[in-house]
């Protein structure tokens, strides 16, 4: 089984990258039949801008650009998709949102027919979301931020495409043992990704 781990943070020395690395080690700790690929969107220079070419793709008036095709192929090869990211303004960083905007295209992730019927095309894909935030859980809870993020991301994006969100984890500096506890949690999440499928 193969996991695609998508990381959206510009600093390779960040806690986000350390979390992704521990998660990857958890995946392979399950056994030699498991593998991972880390897609470091910042280091790879992925362009998150949704351009006229992306509009044409959405309208099914053009084929996807090579960078979008390459990202879709990465996901097609994966048995699980893992997104590791910091919370910026109570959501994804712009880089990751732009990756989803461009890659999860009409005709590939879903098919919005002229008759108004929606075909969810990513039903085979389990998704694991691992976010790190800067506030404490009381703040997220008091203002409804975590619930809003789940509605927007878990349901609004992945539910729309039919992908099942198997993990939706928010790691915070108020967590006991921070930051080492985040790395331990990431390793445990990695070990669970293919636990049922093994």
Question: Could you read off the pLDDT of 53-77 as tens digits, one per residue?
Answer: 999 999 999 999 999 999 999 999 9
By percentage, how much of the chain surpasses pLDDT 90? 84
pLDDT at position 164 is 96
Strands of 87-137 (E only): list them. Answer: 110-112, 118-120, 126-132
What does the pLDDT average to over 164-175?
93
pTM, to two decimals: 0.94
The span from the CA of 97 to the CA of 75, in Å, is: 16
Q: Strand 110-112 to strand 118-120: parallel, antiparallel, or no bridges (unpaired)?
A: antiparallel
Instruction: Give the rounded percent of residues in the chain with a pLDDT score beyond 70.
Output: 98
Looking up tokens 């008759």 gives: 115
Beta pairing partners, 110? 106, 120
Confidence check: pLDDT of 198 > 90: no
Q: Write out pLDDT tens, residues 95-129.
A: 999 999 999 999 999 998 778 899 999 999 999 99
């Amino acid at each position: 089984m193969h996991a695609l781990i998508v990381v959206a943070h510009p600093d390779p020395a960040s806690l986000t990258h350390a979390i992704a690395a521990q998660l990857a080690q958890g995946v392979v700790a399950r056994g030699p039949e498991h593998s991972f690929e880390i897609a470091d969107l910042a280091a790879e220079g992925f362009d998150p801008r949704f351009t006229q070419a992306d509009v044409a793709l959405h309208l099914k008036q053009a084929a996807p650009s090579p960078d979008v095709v390459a990202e879709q192929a990465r996901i097609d090869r994966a048995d699980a998709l893992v997104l590791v990211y910091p919370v910026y303004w109570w959501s994804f960083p712009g880089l990751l949102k732009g990756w989803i905007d461009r890659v999860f295209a009409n005709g590939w992730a879903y098919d919005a027919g002229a008759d108004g019927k929606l075909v969810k095309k990513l039903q085979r894909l389990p998704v694991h979301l691992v976010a790190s935030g800067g506030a404490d859980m009381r703040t997220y809870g008091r203002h409804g931020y975590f619930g809003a993020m789940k509605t927007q991301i878990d349901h609004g994006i992945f539910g729309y495409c039919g992908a099942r969100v198997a993990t939706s984890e928010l790691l915070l500096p108020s967590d006991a043992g921070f930051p080492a506890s985040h790395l331990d949690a990431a390793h445990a999440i990695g070990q669970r990704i293919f636990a049922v499928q093994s």
